[in-house]
Amino acid sequence: MKKLLLTFITVAICMCIMPVIAGAKTINLTYSNFFPPTHIQSKLAQQWADEVAKRTEGRVTITYFPGGTLTKAKQCYDGVVEGLSDIGMSALAYSRGRFPTMAAVDLPLGYKSGKAATKVANAVYTKFKPKELNDVVPMYFHAHGPGLLFTAKKPVKTLEDIKGMKLRGTGNSAQLLKALGASPVAMSMPDSYQAIRKGVVNGGIYPMESNKGWKMGEVVDFCTLDYPVGYTTTFFAVMNKDKWDSISEQDQKIITELNKEWAEKHGQAWDESDKIGRKFLTEKGGQFIELSEAEGQRWKDKAAPMMEEYIKKANKKKLDGKAILSFTIETLNTSQ
């Protein structure tokens, strides 16, 4: 009798569980990234996608599209909003003016590492939860190490040396070059290589990692370590809101914890790439120029109006520009 009762209970439990199992479904997502598949930042995105599948035990799987094969860099964010891809990674700066709160992170605040820049970017988002990102669900942000000055043939040791030079720069870096007295020329990194080689421009401003990643170390001779005005570029990894809502609360928690780990990995990867880029430039005979404390302050003073301009623009959009910038600077100071 007991055996029969046990069998009945077992069957009853199975009948209750079966509908749940039958109703369970695997969520398949697409991930668009403009970084080429060989780039470390692309490899990390692929690893994140694989880890999501692993930690959710296959309940959430991701098909990864690197190299802009699904959406291009400038289209990536809107592509996620519109559902062309479910997840996307690109730079906020490609949609200039659209992300006024996060734009504070990209200012030339004196960054010294990608790790610090990444901490700042995530902290600013967490602190202010900007409405500008309400049409997606941010996974995490990451940011490269300091954008520095690289020149061919002519070394830059003082502000007087940079005056009138034609240098590659886009967005905030172009504004910085103008503030320092140079003539910024907007162009992509691939175009920059040939432009510097042919003498169309005298150099450019970019992260150290680009010397190896984009082979820039082959065409420049000097690096001015202008850390007092080191800037960064913030990259986002975001998910379509409807797709996020389709994921169970359990798996959302798993992904949220994973995001914290991966943001740190990206920051560390930027710093490792900078080391490789510096080594590559050194092997090519590149020389590094350090600014004296007094000279560094001169560069910082020249860049100061950019901070004031940021506050004005943020205030016009009904944001507290001063509070955002102050928090960004304070977070950077405690992260380096």
Are residue 64 and residue 136 in the same domain, yes or no? yes
Q: Is residue 184 part of a domain?
A: yes
Q: Is residue 17 part of a domain?
A: no
* Predicted local confidence at residue 27, as pLDDT: 97
Are residue 256 and residue 266 in the same domain, yes or no? yes
- Asked if residue 15 has pLDDT above 50, the reply is no
Token reading at 172: 């905030």
For residue 217, what are the domain limits? 147-231+279-335
Q: Is residue 84 part of a domain?
A: yes
Residue predicted with more confidence, 15 or 148: 148
Are residue 262 and residue 210 in the same domain, yes or no? no
pLDDT 10s digits, 205-248: 999 999 998 899 999 999 999 999 999 999 999 999 999 999 99
Are residue 114 and residue 48 in the same domain, yes or no? yes
Are residue 216 and residue 157 in the same domain, yes or no? yes
- Asked if residue 37 has pLDDT above 70, the reply is yes
Q: Is residue 67 part of a domain?
A: yes
Q: Is residue 261 part of a domain?
A: yes
pLDDT 10s digits, 129-148: 999 999 999 999 999 999 99
Are residue 196 and residue 254 in the same domain, yes or no? no
Structurally, the chain folds into a number of domains equal to: 2
Mean per-residue pLDDT over the chain, rounded: 93
Domain at 262, CATH number: 3.40.190.170
- Asked if residue 1 has pLDDT above 60, the reply is no
Are residue 59 and residue 154 in the same domain, yes or no? no
pLDDT tier for residue 18 given thresholds of 50, 70 and 90: very low
Residue predicted with more confidence, 186 or 157: 157
* Predicted local confidence at residue 24, as pLDDT: 52
pTM of the shown model = 0.89
pLDDT tier for residue 47 given thresholds of 50, 70 and 90: very high
pLDDT 10s digits, 294-334: 999 999 999 999 999 999 999 999 999 999 999 999 999 99
